[in-house]
Amino acid sequence: MRVVREFRLESLLFAAFFSTLPLYSPNLVMFNDLFPASGEVMPWFVNAMMLSAVVTGLFVAVASLRSGGAVFVGFPAVSAAAAFYVGGFVLFALALAVPGFGVGVVAFVAGLAVAVGVVPLCLAWGTYFSALDMRQALFSLAVLVGMGSLAELLLSAVSMQVGLVAFALLLVLGVLLPLWKALRGELSRTVRDAAEGEAFVSDPLASELVASVDGAVGLLSSARRMASVLAMPLVGLLMFGFLMGVRKFMLFDLIYVEALGGIVAAVVVLPLSLAEMRCPLLPLVYQVVLPLFALALVVLNSFPVGTGPQWLAASVSYVFYGVIGILALASLCAMAHAREFSAPLIYGLVVAAFALVSLAGIWCGSLPLFAYQQGGPVLLVLSTAYFALLVGVPLVAAWRREVALPVDDACAPVEGVGVLQERCERLSREGGLSPRESEILAYLGRGHGIAYVAKTLVISESTVRTHVKSIYRKLGVSSREELLQRVDEG
């Protein structure tokens, strides 16, 4: 398989970063288990870190609208981030382990330092993975998140001394690759190439807005355009962050289900990344696979509390949200790979949003309404609402296609694909089409419409239309029919 052959061994270091990433609240469980003082120190650290991550992420996103954000993944920024990240955790450990060591003040400062470090490191890792397309990103992240979840599971089961040494080692390993890539200039070069490329903000209206951006207006516009491309994965990722923050659930009082769910989710996702199919992967997953998964959970959750099926649903839900998380991360990598948006803009916004909903989940987890005995129905309602969204959106989309779209974008086999490809390549050379326009022409030549192309390439429909207009102009045609006739003629 191509995705297996192209897997980079160096990316295994992401598993170390993932297993220490404090924005993912289950990674902090180890400190609760190992240190008696965690109840007094942890709230200071978590609140400071999450709120600072929201502010830092938004700042990076706004700054990236004008500059592209290459400065945030340069060596000075990444090396400073690594120092803040490691140093912040050292302060946090001291506040936990040394009685009377400043407690709240030190934990608060540690949270600020970790947040200032973790955001650029997330940007650096996201920029690194932007070299992967959807299928490559899905395979890589399934392997790496599974390994990171296994490390997280082991950390929660060892003694304090072993756990601290192992966590410190993972902490250092997790920043090594971003430091090395930033030192070589590869990360900033990737961001600059994306900003200078034709696909970065290809929509003329969006380009004009970004050029005259005035903070919040441009940020909201970019967020809206991103949501138009990956609405369901982004909603799923935020739902995942909220629910993981609300409650920690143990299986047989021995292992945390979040970590086990991440491992099983990786096993579930791997076949999707390896399966050969003609359809775009994301529509298949969000219109078929996940709705069926959600319906199964709705049925299991309908059984009385305390019964086997309901207990199974509670456990399998963590696998479901683990799958959602991996798919969402891979989708973000594919979005960055498509170069319609810069990686710092994408990950700055997503880190800020994820930190905000995780913090909201942690706060809600302390409320009586969300307590273990009373909170079951509340969490069940939230999960069921998301399940209904997963089932409802494909139904509405199918109805809209049936009513409004004359062009069938179904994933039917296409005859003579090789011949069509050769004709499209010849037309591309004759018309002087850019690489992205040539890619889109190949899909148009097979009879696919704009919606299909947008979903396949993980870009917005407005950007596809902009490229289609350019293709028409360069090839001297004025309609879809004329374009298909040119393709047929070769």
The pLDDT tens digits of the residues spanning 153-176 come to 888 777 778 888 999 999 999 999
CA 249 to CA 24: how far, in whole Å? Answer: 15
What pLDDT is recorded for position 214?
52
What pLDDT is recorded for position 414?
43
Q: Which of 175-184, 226-235, 423-432 has the highest mean pLDDT?
A: 175-184
456 pLDDT more than 90: no
Residue found by looking up tokens 């298909």 in the block: 484
Range(s) of the chain covered by CATH 1.10.10.10: 417-489
211 pLDDT more than 90: no
Give me the sign of the Cα torsion angle 141, 191, 221, 281.
negative
What pLDDT is recorded for position 79?
96
What pLDDT is recorded for position 160?
74
Range(s) of the chain covered by CATH 1.20.1250: 7-398
Q: What percent of the chain has pLDDT over 90?
A: 28
Q: Which of 25-39, 163-177, 213-227 has the highest mean pLDDT?
A: 163-177
Q: What is the mean pLDDT of the chain?
A: 81
318 pLDDT more than 60: yes
CA 390 to CA 384: how far, in whole Å? Answer: 10
331 pLDDT more than 60: yes
Which of the residue ranges 5-14, 126-135, 181-190 would you say has the lowest mean pLDDT?
5-14
Return the SS3 of 214.
coil
CATH of 417-489, one of 2.40.340.10, 3.30.360.10, 3.30.310.220, 1.10.10.10: 1.10.10.10
Buried b / exposed e across 355-391, counting CB within 10 Å, b at 16+?
Answer: bbbbbbbbbbbeeeebeeeebbeebbebbeebbebbb
Select from 22, 11, 29, 13 the least CA-distant residue to 247.
29
Beta strands in 27-74 (DSSP E): none
255 pLDDT more than 70: no
What pLDDT is recorded for position 128?
95
Q: Could you tell me if 447 and 484 are in contact, meaning their C-beta atoms sit under 8 angstroms apart?
A: yes
Confidence of residue 389 (pLDDT cuts 50, 70, 90): confident
Confidence of residue 417 (pLDDT cuts 50, 70, 90): low
What number is the average pLDDT over the span 403-425? Answer: 56
What number is the average pLDDT over the span 354-381? Answer: 75
What pLDDT is recorded for position 26?
78
What pLDDT is recorded for position 134?
87
Residue found by looking up tokens 């969300």 in the block: 370
The domain defined by 7-398 folds into Growth Hormone; Chain: A; (1.20.1250)
Please tell me which residue, 176 or 431, carries the higher pLDDT value: 176
CA of 476: how far to CAs of 81, 313, 421, 427, 490, in Å? 51, 58, 20, 11, 14
372 pLDDT more than 70: no
449 pLDDT more than 60: yes
